[in-house]
Amino acid sequence: MATIGVASLVVTASVVDSRQSFSLGVSPGAVIAELQPRAKLCQGPIDVADEFERVTLTLGTFMQRGPSLAVEVRDADSRAILASGRLASGYPDNEESQVRTGLVRRGARITVCVTNRGIRRVAAYGAGDAAHLGSTASVDGAPVGADMTMRFLYERPRSLLRLTPAMFDRASLFAPSWLSAWMLWALLGLVALAVPGLLTCALARAADEPPSHKPRED
């Protein structure tokens, strides 16, 4: 039974897919900035937790066709362009849109900049500046006191089994100093073995107990 339980976990993790590499954890609670034509909105610095190929933005178009946007991923220190992409005009109002930037490697420290290349204004959604500590949004170099809603995606879905090592590495960054990634692996192994084992014991005990007979009422 324990072997079956472990196998089930492995199979489930191998078939459940995810395209999200990481996110800023910023909900699209309000408009944080309006970009007029040629205006540039930047968010940074951002530590790249895992490689990505796409960036998502939540945008408002004021019930019109969304204007074309240029997206640049720059090194936060040198300002060198690491990747770039373009969001064509016509994207939907108040929804998330994806921009293919090309590959950005894990471990980079970046700033993501969005420039309005169209002739109409566009609104960017986000939340207060405390939503993603250590990073902030600015328009044409002036801080706006808020963070932009962004997610970073893989080009193709990846199984949870493949993502597990990176997930444990990230979790160890926020854990106590004595809790390392290998300890999280050990805990996962214990859980994978213990849960089916406890279930087996419970079923065996239930099978050994004599059936209870309710007294018949005359």
Domain ranges of the chain: 2-14+160-208, 19-158
Q: How confident is the model over 38-62, as pLDDT tens digits?
A: 999 999 999 999 999 999 999 999 9
State the CATH architecture for 19-158: Sandwich (2.60)
Q: How does DSSP classify residue 117?
A: -
Quick one: pLDDT at residue 122? Answer: 98
**Looking at the chain, how many residues does it have?**
218
Instruction: Tell me which residue has tokens 């909900």.
Output: 27
- Alpha carbon separation from 2 to 7, 179, 193 (Å, rounded): 9, 26, 6
- Alpha carbon separation from 14 to 17, 19, 71, 137, 171 (Å, rounded): 8, 14, 33, 37, 20
Beta partners for 87?
A: 69
DSSP strands (E only) in 24-80: 30-35, 40-47, 52-60, 69-75
CB 49 within 8 A of CB 166: yes
Q: How confident is the model over 172-194, as pLDDT tens digits?
A: 444 555 455 555 546 555 655 55
For residue 83, what are its two tokens? 């990747």
Q: How confident is the model over 114-156, as pLDDT tens digits?
A: 999 999 999 999 999 888 889 999 999 999 999 999 999 999 8
**Nearest Cα to 132, choosing from 142, 146, 119, 115?**
146
Residue at 190: amino acid letter: L
Q: How does DSSP classify residue 130?
A: G
